[in-house]
Structure 1
Amino acid sequence: MSSGPEHEQHPLFLPVVFVGGLVFGVGLAVGRMARPEVVLEFLQFEDFGLLLVMGGAATVTAVTISLAVRSGRRAPLTGRKYGRRLKTFDKNVLAGGAVFGVGWGLSGICPGAAYASLGVGNLPILWAIGGMFAGAYLQGWLRTVLAESSTTAEVGT
């Protein structure tokens, strides 16, 4: 991180992130999204209560982000201007979404809710969290190997 004033972190940044994560986790627990059996019932089209939870969260987020972008203001803790982050739809996004969906279906919980699930006493979820860490490590390793092989191939031509 640069020592310039534009890159200095506000002293409240980490505490605010922590409180935000805590509120998010409590929301997941209250909405029952931290219970794999409830999530699996939703994925099997047996219980649509989570649709209301996720739909409500998506609506609040969409409205908040839209208003923040239109305001032209800067984020109070980072000083960055609010804006949309556009990402191209490519094979990596498709593969990542597929892996995410399969992992969600197998474990019955998405990565964010897995940590909240620990808070409600679901200790077997540690297997899924371990799998997430292993998968993230494997993805990083593969990306590095593929990047090195493509660089080597370009230099050799």
Structure 2
Amino acid sequence: MKGLKFILAGILFGIVMSKSEAISWFRIQEMFRFQSFHMYGIIGTAVVLGAIAVYLIKKYKLRDFQGNPIVFTPKEMSVPRYIIGGTIFGLGWALTGACPGPMFVNIGFSYWAIFVAIGGAIAGTYMYGVLRDKLPH
């Protein structure tokens, strides 16, 4: 029963992703071709809500489920790191028509071809682990 809240959060996430059409490869292609504001609106809303959530977490010094304080550690801004990583992520997103979260929602809709994208994501994550010490951080 401990994991029930996470299952419910996942179900809610899947419903929001499907109802907002964020799992649609067509909507993602529209975004990368600058043909529609739809996905930019979804992403912009997520950024604003995330900023509000972080503000509230910091202001009220909220704690996680185990009672530990939630701490945000600043990262060093490394421009090449973000350009290279963002380019790889964006290319994968554009080529597959799926980003990591909605990929799993697509499984729920029986879009079995998404397993190719998931396999690529897993392989990319593995390669990052192998090459991590050689990459700019």
Q: Give the alignment's TM-score, normalised by structure 1.
A: 0.75
**Structure 2, unaligned stretches of length 5 or more?**
none
Cα deviation code 1:34-65 (max 9, x no counterpart): 11111111111112112222222222222122
Question: Hey, what does 2:81 align to over in structure 1?
Answer: 92
Matches within 5 A, 1:30-109: 30-75=19-64, 77-90=65-78, 91-109=80-98
Query: Would you say how many aligned residue pairs link Structure 1 and Structure 2?
Result: 134
Do 1:25 and 1:113's aligned partners in 2 also have CA atoms closer than 8 Å?
yes
Identity %: 27
Q: RMSD of aligned C-alpha atoms?
A: 2.1
Do 1:36 and 1:108's aligned partners in 2 also have CA atoms closer than 8 Å?
yes
Do 1:29 and 1:120's aligned partners in 2 also have CA atoms closer than 8 Å?
no
The partner residue of 1:130 within 115, 119, 127 is: 119
Kindly name which structure, 1 or 2, has the bigger radius of gyration based on alpha carbons: 1
Q: Give the alignment's TM-score, normalised by structure 2.
A: 0.84
**Structure 1, unaligned stretches of length 5 or more?**
1-10, 148-157
